[in-house]
Structure 1
């Protein structure tokens, strides 16, 4: 990927424009920029009677089962009572995406993507965990990964 920096003093203060040939390249660039520009790098999760502070970039994936959200990092798993949608909103980052009704993942922690039956995919994550990507989210994931 070729990147150029063009200084344009006519832009409003705090305004940045990104130009890309297609949506896939644009999404990849925004994902990288998003990683470095978010105000909060950590997220606080209530688990039982304690609060755990997790670095967002340490989160590999998360899943909801029986109304319990399990957040997986490379070192541990934390359980809490939050909806997947609420957790995704709190993450507030293009690096994370929902890939099924009950799972989300950090696209920067995907090691490889394998085909599955019925048009689904399976993402093998950096911690070895396998995450199912439903057909509904396959095209979005492919676009975000640039494949």
Structure 2
């Protein structure tokens, strides 16, 4: 596969994809481009910052507040988790009632003896997959 990059501040930004078929790479590129337009306001240290969803490891709900976890930072988000879920594309997975993870930030799944499944993210965050979400997660991850 070959690619080209042209930097021209005079022209409007545009991405063209020529492919023989729509494969996983093409879907990932489309997903990444679509998420770039969807920034979210996050509050960290009393400063409002624009957050690009592709950088977020997960969105979590704690004590009736929603946070975006990026590396070791926790940004307060002024939206409900279901609103964020509606904004995101298929790169984010709902694993339980209080957590929405970025599938590109998943390091591994860890099964326990009791049959539960734990998700471990690149920033070290761990959370369990709810039983009602297990089938959906397995289908979307190809497990």
* TM, length-normalised to structure 2: 0.72
In angstroms, what is the RMSD of aligned CA positions?
2.6
Which position in structure 2 is the counterpart of 1:120? 116
Map of 1:95 onto structure 2: 91
Written as runs of structure 1 = structure 2, the 5 A alignment for 1:1-147 is 5=20, 18=22, 32-38=28-34, 40-47=36-43, 50-90=47-87, 92-116=88-112, 118-147=114-143
Alpha-carbon separation, structure 2, partners of 1:124 and 1:5: 35
Q: Deviations over 1:24-76 (max 9, x none)?
A: xx8x6785254234163451225386421112111001111121001101241
Gaps of 5+ in 1: 7-17, 19-25
User: Which ranges of structure 2 fall in alignment gaps of 5 or more residues?
Assistant: 1-18
Q: Give the whole-Å Cα distance in 1 for the aligned partners of 2:39 and 2:126.
A: 23
- Length, aligned pairs only: 124
Cα distance per residue 1:73-97 (max 9 Å; x no partner):
124110133211011223x211001
Distance 2:34 2:84 in 1: 16
Report the CA distance shift for 1:109/1:72 in structure 2 as closer, same or farther (over 3 A).
same
Give the CA deviation at 1:125: 0.3
Aligned equivalents of 1:93 and 1:131: distance in 2? 21
Ranked by relative contact order (alpha carbons within 8 Å, sequence separation 6 or more), the top structure is: 1
SS at match of 1:82: coil
CA contact (8 A) 2:58 2:102 kept: yes
Deviation at 1:119, TM superposition (A): 3.3
CA change 1:101–1:110 in 2 (3 A) is same
Does the C-alpha gap of structure 1 residues 39 and 145 become closer, same or farther in structure 2, counting only changes over 3 Å? closer
Structure 1's consecutive aligned runs of 4 or more residues displaced over 6 angstroms after TM superposition are none
